Amino acid sequence: MPLYDDKTIKMLESKANIIRRHVIKMTFTAQSGHPGGSLSYADILSALYFQVMNHRPVDPQWEDRDRLVLSKGHAAPAYYAALAESGYIPVDELLSLRKLGSNLQGHPCRQKTPGVEMSTGSLGQGLSVANGMALAAKLDRRPCRIYCLCGDGEMEEGQNWEAAMLASHYKLDNITAFIDRNMMQIDGPTENVMSLEPLADKWRAFGWNVLEINGHDMRQILEACDKASQVKGKPTMIIAHTIKGKGVSFMEGAVAFHGKAPNPDEYRIALKELGESS
C-alpha cells in the first residue's frame, strides 16, 4: 500500500476546501441547490480526482479511464467544482449553476457536461449503471475501475439492493462504491425516516467487501481506495462517516441546508470560515 506524505495530504485537503468554497458561491449565486450534501463528500471527490482516479481531462472519452457515477445527483455542485478544478470545464462557468441554458444543471447531465459519466438525479439508480460499466470493462478486458458515490438516504431505494446482489454475483471487483454516511436526508435523520443500521452488516451479507472510514480524513480515504483496488472477487463498499454541511458551522448537521442556499449574511460567514474573506 502506498504511503502518502504530508505534502500530498495537505494538497488534497486544500483542493477539498476549494471545492467547498465553490459550492457556497455556486448555490448562493443560483439561490438554489444542495449545499449540505455537497460539502459532506468534498474530501472524497478531492481524493478521487486529484490522486486516485486514472483520467484525462483533455480526453474525457478516453476508453481506459476510470469512471465516476454520482448516484446522489442532487449534490452536483461539488461534482462540478471537482470537474472544473480538474480541467474538464472552465472554473468561471461554475457560477452558471442552474441557470436557463447552462451546461451545469441542477442534476448532472451527460449530454451537457464534459466529465459527467451518467445523468443522475433519480435516487437509487447509480449503482446499477456502475455495475453495467464494470461488467463491460471486464468483458472488454479494460483496466479501468468504476467508482460510485451514493447518499445514505438513497439506501432506502430497493434498486440499490438488487444492484448489490448483481455486483456480488458477477464478482465485480473493479467497483469501489462509497456511501456518504452523513446521517441526514431531506426529511431528517436517516434513522428516524427509515433506519439503515446495521448498514455495514447488510452490505457484507450481500457479498461485498466493506470498509468503514472517517470520510473527512484524507489519509483514510486514500488507504481505503488502495485496499479496495487489491480485493479480488468482490466489489467494495466504503462507508464514509461524514458531517452534512462539513466546514461551515451553521450548516453542519442542519437538515435545513439539504436543499437551501445561503443568504447574503450566511454567504459571507461561510466563505470566511472556509478561509476566504470575500
Residue 278 lies in a domain: no
Among candidates 151, 76, 78, which has minimal Cα distance to 106? 76
Instruction: Count up the domains in the chain and report the number.
Output: 1
Q: Quick one: average pLDDT of 104-113?
A: 96
Residue 107 lies in a domain: yes
Q: Which amino acid is at 19?
A: I
Residue 48 lies in a domain: yes
Residue 103 lies in a domain: yes
User: What pTM does this model have?
Assistant: 0.97
CATH number at residue 13: 3.40.50.970
Residue 213 lies in a domain: yes
Question: Is the pLDDT confidence value at 197 over 70?
Answer: yes
> Residue 50 sits in which domain range?
6-273
3-state secondary structure of 243: coil
> What sign has the CA pseudo-torsion 100, 261, 14, 243?
negative
Q: What is the pLDDT of residue 2?
A: 74
Question: Is the pLDDT confidence value at 278 over 80?
Answer: no
pLDDT in tens, 116-142: 999 999 999 999 999 999 999 999 999
pLDDT in tens, 234-264: 999 999 999 999 999 999 999 999 999 999 9
Residue 1 lies in a domain: no
DSSP state of 68: E
Residue 250 lies in a domain: yes
Residue 14 lies in a domain: yes
Q: What is the pLDDT of residue 277?
A: 65
CA distance 174 to 196: 25
Q: What is the largest CA-CA distance in the chain?
A: 53
